[in-house]
């Protein structure tokens, strides 16, 4: 099926469905929540009954999103016949499996991760998009829904967060064109940026302090690695969600090509966040540990002590950097 036919089928399913449940991934960010809320608000404009689900609570810097208070941590019951997953590479990103989904349910998968597992009945996956918010905007336009200020606020938030304020390499001319379209809807850019980037709780700054205290450089300064233990979270008073974005402080060091943040989230459960600057494909690195994401941003999970996870990922990245230098 070509892309145009796939998108047409995606739209047709949504037009036909009387009820739609929308899902977004664990440790939610501005892209998954903003896109999910925008799509849901748009579907309601064409008469659909919509529910919103995320396994985790909404982070403090995203509670300003229109509709955020409607996001539930309880699965919809009864389950609608149409489920739409937004910004999810696989069902595990929503803490679900196929056994949790009714046999006759239609599953829609809207995503931009290169590592997507194509788990839906209809999969609209475009890794060229800087954010799933780009695809959400296109979807809403194709549905013929007038984008109001609330929908635009959600979509702009989605795009600006996943493009790193239009700094990341995934930013394209199309990204800017879509952002401009949203800015024409009279959204409050200053308030959005202030909420997203200028309002950090003290506990997050303390958590950053612990992460920087453990900063180490490897591979002749090309690899920067930080670690956070459960004790660091406890002492700082920060929740796991407040570690989002801390890895970029390591990535910004001159000479660093790849940065890693390893954080302990439970006994023998270590989450790894990987970011690269110019050329190293961290999606391939993460895939070696059962994870994935994008070429410049990916994640994975280790079921070993943090010291063992640290040594494993250092070894793999040092080899990848060496091979890259030689080519």
pLDDT tens-digit readout, 296-314: 999 999 999 999 999 999 9
Task: Note the pLDDT of residue 326.
Answer: 57
Q: H-type helices in 143-188, by residue range?
A: 149-162, 173-183
Pick from 2-6, 19-23, 245-249, 295-299: least confident: 2-6
Say how many Å lie between the first and final Cα of the chain, rounded: 37
In tens, the pLDDT along 163-217 reads 999 988 899 999 999 999 999 999 999 999 999 999 899 999 999 999 999 999 9
In tens, the pLDDT along 42-91 reads 999 999 999 999 999 999 999 999 999 999 999 998 999 999 999 999 99
Architecture of domain 202-326: Roll (3.10)
Task: Note the pLDDT of residue 190.
Answer: 96
**Burial degree of 248 (CB within 10 A; 0-12, 13-18, 19+):** middle
Q: Where in the chain are the domains?
A: 3-197, 202-326
* CA–CA distance, 214 with 190 (Å, rounded to integer): 34
* CA–CA distance, 37 with 70 (Å, rounded to integer): 9
139-176 exposure pattern, b = at least 16 Cβ within 10 A, e = fewer: bbeebebebeebbbbbbbbbbbbbbbeeebbbbeeebe
* CA–CA distance, 209 with 76 (Å, rounded to integer): 40
CATH fit for domain 3-197, picks 3.40.1350.10, 3.40.47.10, 3.40.50.2300, 3.90.1640.10: 3.90.1640.10
Are the C-beta atoms of 94 and 24 separated by less than 8 Å? yes
Q: Where are the beta strands (DSSP E) in 59-140?
A: 82-86, 106-111, 122-125
Whether pLDDT at 153 is above 70: yes
Is-same-fold flag (3-197; 202-326)? no
Whether pLDDT at 7 is above 80: yes
* CA–CA distance, 259 with 217 (Å, rounded to integer): 9
> Which residues, 6+ apart, have CB-to-CB distance to 315 below 8 Å?
none
Are the C-beta atoms of 66 and 41 separated by less than 8 Å? yes
Whether pLDDT at 246 is above 70: yes
The single residue listed with the structure tokens 């989450």 is 271
User: Mean of the pLDDT values across residues 17-43?
Assistant: 97
The single residue listed with the structure tokens 């060229």 is 128
* CA–CA distance, 122 with 30 (Å, rounded to integer): 24
- Dump the DSSP string for 13-48: HHHH-SEEEEEE-SS--HHHHHHHHHHHHHHHHTT-
Nearest Cα to Cα of residue 53 among 160, 67, 314: 67
Residue 257: phi, psi to the nearest 5? -95, -35
Whether pLDDT at 290 is above 80: yes
Radius of gyration of the chain (CA): 20
In tens, the pLDDT along 254-278 reads 999 999 999 999 989 999 999 999 9
Task: Note the pLDDT of residue 99.
Answer: 86
| Furthest C-alpha separation in the chain | 58
List, edge to edge, every strand of the sheet that includes 216-218.
Answer: 216-218, 223-228, 258-266, 269-276, 297-302, 292-293
| Between 3 and 125, the higher pLDDT residue | 125
* CA–CA distance, 260 with 313 (Å, rounded to integer): 9
> Which residues, 6+ apart, have CB-to-CB distance to 5 below 8 Å?
none
In tens, the pLDDT along 88-113 reads 999 999 999 888 898 889 999 999 99
pTM equals 0.89
157 pLDDT band, cuts 50/70/90, is very high
């Amino acid at each position: 099926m070509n892309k145009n036919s796939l998108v047409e089928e995606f739209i047709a399913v949504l037009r036909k469905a009387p009820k739609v449940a929308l899902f977004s991934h664990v440790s939610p960010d501005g892209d998954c929540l903003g896109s999910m809320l925008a799509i849901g608000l748009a579907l309601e404009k064409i008469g659909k009954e919509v529910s919103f689900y995320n396994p985790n609570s909404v982070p403090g810097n995203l509670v300003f999103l229109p509709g955020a208070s409607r996001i539930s941590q309880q699965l919809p019951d009864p389950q609608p016949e149409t489920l739409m997953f937004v910004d999810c590479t696989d069902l595990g990103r929503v803490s679900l499996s196929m056994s949790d989904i009714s046999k006759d349910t239609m599953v829609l998968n809207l995503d931009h991760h290169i590592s997507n597992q194509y788990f839906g009945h209809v999969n609209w996956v475009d890794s060229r998009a800087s954010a799933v918010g780009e695809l959400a905007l296109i979807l809403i336009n194709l549905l013929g829904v007038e984008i109001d200020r609330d929908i635009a606020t959600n979509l702009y938030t989605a795009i600006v967060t996943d493009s790193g304020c239009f700094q990341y390499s995934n930013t394209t001319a199309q990204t800017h064109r879509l952002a401009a379209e949203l800015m024409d809807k009279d959204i409050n850019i200053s308030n959005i940026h202030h909420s997203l980037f200028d309002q950090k709780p003290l506990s997050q700054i303390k958590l950053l302090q612990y992460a920087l205290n453990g900063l180490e450089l490897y591979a002749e300064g090309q690899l920067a690695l930080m670690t956070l233990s459960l004790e660091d979270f406890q002492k700082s008073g920060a929740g796991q969600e407040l570690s989002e974005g801390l890895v970029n402080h390591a990535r910004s060091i001159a000479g660093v090509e790849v940065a890693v943040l390893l954080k302990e989230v439970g006994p023998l459960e270590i989450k790894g966040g990987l970011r690269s600057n110019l050329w190293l494909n961290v999606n391939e690195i993460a895939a070696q540990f059962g994870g994935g994401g994008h070429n410049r941003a990916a994640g994975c999970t280790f079921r070993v002590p943090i010291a063992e996870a640290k040594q494993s990922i250092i070894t793999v990245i040092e080899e990848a950097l060496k091979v890259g230098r030689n080519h």
